[in-house]
Structure 1
């Protein structure tokens, strides 16, 4: 996963060059990233971005990415996790209430003084 985050800086530079109306090159990406004080540039990743996007319209690439993201399930797992957490919290509350009732009835209401 970290590889993808690392690749994003090169993709961002590519998009900026494209939006400026220029044909992105390795040199233009390096120049943009250096202006943004990005260090540790990886020539292989720059070449990968250039090669993978060369000749493609950015609008088409973004549309294809949106289409891929639309197939990723969202919300279902977190809704289930929220329900489970709520049920666990409710069970813990009930157990605490039962414990309080047992303590007060067995101690005659004196809270453990005797």
Structure 2
């Protein structure tokens, strides 16, 4: 990911997106550069524009299924348990707020 980020930074700045420039960007911020990864990136991006890369990424993201809502029966059965847990948490919060006796850490 860092190699692609360096490539995109160079492109956005209008600089030449060569392997040497990608290595220079990464080295300038103290990242150890692996030559194999830089060459693999340059090979994968050969002949593609940034717009093409963004379009490919959007296609891949749209292919990921979204999680649906829980079923009504499961939600109803957990509702009572959730209410009981909520009441217990409220009681604990009330007890904890009394512990400081009105003095806060930064008062």
Q: Give the shorter-chain TM-score range.
A: 0.5 to 0.7
> Who wins on radius of gyration, i.e. which is larger?
1
2:3 equivalent to 1:13: no
Asked if residue 37 in structure 1 is aligned to residue 30 in structure 2, the reply is: yes
Extract unaligned runs of 5+ from structure 2: 86-107
**2:54 is equivalent to residue 62 of structure 1:** yes
The alpha-carbon deviation at position 90 of structure 1 amounts to: 3.1
TM-score calculated relative to the size of structure 2: 0.63
Structure 1, gaps ≥5 residues long = 1-7, 95-114
- Note the C-alpha offset of 1:84: 5.4
Query: Runs of 4+ in structure 1 displaced over 6 angstroms?
Result: none
Aligned residue pairs, count:
83
Alpha carbon RMSD of aligned pairs, Å? 2.8
